Chains A and B, each alone.
Chain A
């Protein structure tokens, strides 16, 4: 089609949410006074006007088919004034203005197979990346990992019995989408990329691939008479950063791409500054369709945290109090030389004191 026949886009950018906001939220915008947590999955916010709004939060499969999306809309129309809000972790929230409408809404959601919970000191919905369903560089399928784990952690989503909220995240590669989590389940490759030298010259912009490597392990080379790239395997840290700009440098490996578990990432400023997550377990099989080994370790960590942490302590604060030696003991995980950081700034993670717990 000729360019003149094409429709010019309207560059409207981010839409104004005002038109889609629950009327009580519009009316009391910026005028909220306090909130309560009457039961897991329900929040009650009270405005200075005296108005109150009851929020019911529910977990879904996140990747919604239009049937499920319309079901969620039906519930919103019948029980909640026709307005919804999505949280950062892809939960759906419904708002009603009277307490009497809360229970029928919960019943309708549960009856339709959605899970009410995820508020305050619960294990919140696992924040997840895309995986084999759609990503071009995934080492695993986050959707499947998350479904498998949430099946096992559903009681912790429904019942707010953790010391504080627990945010779990997943990442299907080492470099990209998943954020920091109290517990993070991330891909960790253990072998350098396998290079298809026949394709590199045609597919990859070689200087950008060389520049992408965090440890300068890639250099241009002639292989079998063709311009290609080679990897110094003694330097390579197997991060996979070269794979997105150069797909012939395949990093994913059915056997050697493993899962690693990290703990103690925390975005909030409450009680302490935001923290990065730390490696605790690696070499965990990437084992579809249910990933039982990874789930077992996550459950051990959650059990120890639930039993050992004080009210309001996030995972990082709990470990800071009890110390890393006891953490490894309590969750029954090996401590190895691989836990010692080797990247820039690593020295600040060493113990330069006599602070030892006995």
Chain B
């Protein structure tokens, strides 16, 4: 039976131009999909979207929808104009956790597509801003049916609401020479330790893990996650002097001086008269620039690990925050290493769950109570790597100074003894 198609003159204008058009895609579902349910649903979706374009307003409202046994993972959407667009009046999104690093076989993508068109609208995004596969458009019963089906073959919902959210990690060790850690392992060990906190929102607000294999931070972990794990190394970077000389020969000395030597943020590089490099590794901050420019000649060292930063977030409520270094360097080799990282995450989440205000991100709590109090609360000692510089203000009581200084020397001695 032919459906009466909504007139969409504004959306039609998004079908021209060379970039692939999402409107054309939705129209294909309306016009060419064999299932009438999908034709009707996408037709009304286009109708409501056109209405939004005309009036410059959104017409979706949230609500409460979840699958049996969970409290989150679905973004409920009920239309405020469902009378005019009844077939898409319930248009919920299922947030499904991707495999760490976003790898897929086409076979699995086809299986997901088959399940999705059986129950949902046929629209899907890889991936949303939090990192989930977004299966966009299902009514309330269909969310349960689709979840039941894909959950049987290995897929689980991600987080939505005040909970541990779906994590993200870069392609990393799978295809990148800059990678200093096993991103996939950290990603899965961290987030899968908290499945209960993912599925049943009961925290002050959202909590995100992101893992980047090196300080290029392709996952935007420092700014966009509460718990950022960034690969790094602490021994000397590896230099292939023959390759350095080849770069200098190919690009010219001026290019190397202008684009490598003088761009080092800590002036740790020298170009020698014989076109080799001397690197002051104690000054190097592992910014990655010279490695990025000369990937054949320069490589991360062998003594690899991660830096952990806490408290990054976007604007609401107190303004954007970058994460703060909490653990300057941590080896991640043995199972115990990984487990101690997970324990750290547990300690932080427990402390924040206890002390965070409603709708307060971890970084905002740290801002409110002070970094020193936060460190006390989670049992981590202060470290100068946590700061850009020490305090500038003299407004502080220092009664405990002598004890703190004594403890510092004791810790230093212990570390030296431990080698």
Contacts and interface: CB of A to CB of B under 8 A. Distances in A.
Genuine A/B complex: yes
Interface of A: 3, 6-22, 25-26, 29-30, 32-36, 45, 53, 55, 59-70, 72-73, 76-77, 82-88, 90, 92, 95, 113-115, 127, 129-141, 143-144, 147-148, 150-152, 154, 174-180, 208, 211-212, 214, 239, 241, 247, 252, 254-255, 257, 267-272, 274, 276, 286, 288-290, 310-312, 343-345
A73 B109 contact: yes
A345 to B, nearest CB: 8
A4 B67 CA distance: 14
A17 B57 CA distance: 39
Given A32-B176, A254-B56, A274-B223, A84 B109 contact: yes
Interface string B190-217: 0110011011000000000000000111
Given A8-B69, A32-B176, A70-B110, A62 B125 contact: yes
Contact of B22 (A62, A179, A271, A290): A62
A221 to B, nearest CB: 22
Given A9-B70, A130-B128, A45 B105 contact: no
Nearest to B45: A133
A271 B263 contact: yes
B77 interface: yes
B281 to A, nearest CB: 17
A262 to B, nearest CB: 11
A201 B108 CA distance: 47
A318 B104 CA distance: 38
B287 interface: yes
Which 5 pairs of residues, A with B, have the shortest CB-CB distance? A151-B17, A17-B99, A132-B52, A65-B25, A13-B192
B175 A55 contact: yes
Nearest to A133: B49
B265 A272 contact: yes
A252 B58 contact: yes
B188 A267 contact: no
A30 B182 contact: yes
B176 A11 contact: no
Chain B CB count within 10 A is highest, among A45, A62, A272, for: A62
A135 B61 CA distance: 8
Interface string B42-83: 000100010011011111111000011110000101000000
Given A129-B129, A144-B53, A241-B316, A136 B60 contact: yes
Interface of B: 10-11, 13-14, 16-26, 28-29, 32-33, 45, 49, 52-53, 55-62, 67-70, 75, 77, 91, 93, 97-110, 113, 116-117, 122-130, 136, 147-148, 151-152, 154-157, 166-168, 170-171, 173-177, 179, 182, 184, 187-188, 191-192, 195-196, 198-199, 215-220, 222-224, 258-259, 263-265, 285-289, 292-293, 295-296, 299, 314-320, 322, 357-359
A52 to B, nearest CB: 11
Given A150-B19, A270-B289, 14 more contacts: A11-B156, A17-B103, A20-B105, A33-B299, A86-B104, A115-B20, A148-B14, A212-B359, A267-B223, A269-B216, A270-B292, A274-B222, A290-B13, A310-B259
A61 B25 contact: yes
B20 A136 contact: no
B58 A137 contact: yes
Contacts of B59: 132
Interface SS majority for chain A: loop
Contacts of B215: 268-270
B29 A67 contact: yes
B316 A175 contact: yes
A14 B263 contact: no
Contacts of B97: 13-15
A127 to B, nearest CB: 7
Contacts of A143: 22
B129 A127 contact: yes
User: Which of A6, A15, A73 has the largest number of chain B CB atoms within 10 A?
Assistant: A15
B348 to A, nearest CB: 19
B19 A15 contact: no
Contacts of B109: 69, 72-73, 84
A20 B55 contact: no
Nearest to B360: A211
Given A64-B25, A147-B21, A90 B125 contact: yes
Contact of A3 (B29, B68, B152, B218): B68
Contacts of B285: 269
Given A7-B68, A63-B25, A270-B292, A88 B263 contact: no
Nearest to A131: B58
